[in-house]
Amino acid sequence: MFCLCIVLFFFLFLCVCRRVPLMSVQAPNAQWSLHGRVGHPGHRDLQQVMVSGPNLNETSIVSGGYGGTAEGIIPTSSIKGPSLHSGSSPTVAEEATRGVAVEKFDMMKKWSLNTYKCTKQLISERFGRGSRTVDLELEAQIEVLRDTKRKYETVLRLARALTNHFYSMVQTQHALGDTFADLSQKSPELRDEFGYNAETQKLLCKNGETLLGAINFFVSSINTLVNKTMEDTLMTIKMYENARLEFDAYRADLEELNLGPRDAVTMARIETAQQQYQIHKDKYERLRSDVIIKLKFLEENKVKVMHKQLLLFHNAISAYFAGNQQQLEQTLKQFNIKLKPPGADKPSWLEEQ
């Protein structure tokens, strides 16, 4: 059976081969061959065509397709590409970019070197191996300022707490007065008693708002003194301490170089270190002078501000708890404190607490 199938398949294959003729494609005009055909005038040798072929500079690009007109024919000799031998000098933008990059690199290099020296000096001071410049009088004044700032921050925190608690009490008195007034209208048998208490609570509420105005002014002034004036002086002190550390770092570097050999390379490094030492010494002395001046002005300003604020606080508290409404109002006028009139659209400082 298997042999019979093979025979049938071979027979069908022979039939198909006889029915399909062998196809050959021939060029209509000429056939190209490597050696040409002898005696055939229309055939050219491929080698001859390659040698005597058209010049590429004289060929044309036809944009209209096969059979198009001569319009749109662009000679290739008119097409010029960029010259490979043109000068490649950098432009102004490239030079500016390169200059910025070099400047940033130099800044990073100086910052890294300065950070290394300062860190080395700080570690040496912490472990007791390095020496530091000490101004005993100035450092004592700085320590007094920091301690004073901590105590004033405590006063500020307690004054704010007093304001919040007293504001809650005034609000309670206001609500209690409104309740007494309502009950006075609805309870004829106790109208007079409720009326007296309503008037008392309203008066206390009015005086309480006046006292809150004085306390709020006191809190605002202390806050400005602590968080702006003192903080500004402490920022200058921080800059002074950083300058002191840099000055000691470059001073130690110069002293270390002076202990080494005196060859040409070392002398150049000593000269550079001497220049850096002088620069940081001038910076240190300038900031030291700024700190001394700011400490002096801060002390004068602190005495002036606290004298006024403590007098205000004392007079307002005394007048309120003595029930002296006129003296309490006179205290606010003395210090030019104006309360928000009732009915204004903008929320008062009482509502913002």
Could you tell me which of 291, 292, 280 has the C-alpha nearest to residue 248? 280
The string over 45-71, giving b where at least 16 C-beta atoms fall within 10 Å of a residue's C-beta and e elsewhere, is: eeeeeeeeeeeeeeeeeeeeeeeeeee
Q: What pLDDT digit, counting tens, does each position of 9-18 carry?
A: 555 555 544 4
Instruction: Judge whether 258 and 277 are in contact, CB under 8 Å.
Output: no
pLDDT at position 114 is 76
Residue ranges of alpha helices (H) inside the chain are 2-19, 46-51, 92-126, 136-186, 191-224, 231-258, 264-321, 325-334, 349-352
Residue range 51-94, pLDDT digits in tens? 444 444 444 434 344 344 444 444 444 444 444 444 445 577 77
> Are the C-beta atoms of 43 and 32 separated by less than 8 Å?
yes
Over residues 18-46, the pLDDT tens digits come to 444 434 334 344 343 334 444 444 444 44
Q: What local confidence, expressed as pLDDT, does residue 51 receive? A: 43
Q: 245, 117 in Cβ contact below 8 A?
A: no
What amino acid is encoded at 116 in this protein? Y
Q: What is the pLDDT of residue 47?
A: 44
CB atoms within 10 A of CB 215: 20
d(CA 268, CA 271): 5
- Report pLDDT for 34: 36
* Contact indicator for 194, 155 with CB cutoff of 8 Å: no
Q: Cα–Cα distances in Å, from 9 out to 3, 18, 19?
A: 10, 15, 16
Render 121-138 in DSSP notation, one character per residue.
HHHHHHTT-S-----HHH
Instruction: Provide the pLDDT for residue 39.
Output: 43
Q: How confident is the model at residue 112 (pLDDT cuts 50, 70, 90)?
A: confident
Q: How does residue 127 score in pLDDT terms, banded at 50, 70 and 90?
A: confident
pLDDT tens track for 301-348: 999 999 999 999 999 999 999 888 899 999 988 888 877 655 444 445
Which residue carries 């110069």 as its tokens?
Answer: 254
Q: What pLDDT, in 10s, does the model give residues 134-176?
A: 899 999 999 999 999 999 999 999 999 999 999 999 999 999 9
The mean of the pLDDT values for the chain is 77
Strands 60-61 and 74-75: antiparallel
Q: What is the pTM of this model?
A: 0.63
CA–CA dist 67, 109 (Å, integer) = 71
Once rounded to an integer, what is the mean pLDDT over residues 104-114?
78
- What single string gives the DSSP state of each residue in 6-27? HHHHHHHHHHHHHHSPPP----
Angle subtended at Cα 203 by Cα 199 and Cα 205, rounded to the nearest 5 degrees: 115
pLDDT tens digits for range 172-227: 999 999 999 999 888 889 989 989 999 999 999 999 999 999 999 999 999 999 99
Other CB atoms within 10 Å distance of the CB of residue 242:
14
* The predicted structure's pLDDT at residue 161: 96
Q: Express each pLDDT in 247-259 by its tens digit.
A: 988 888 888 888 8
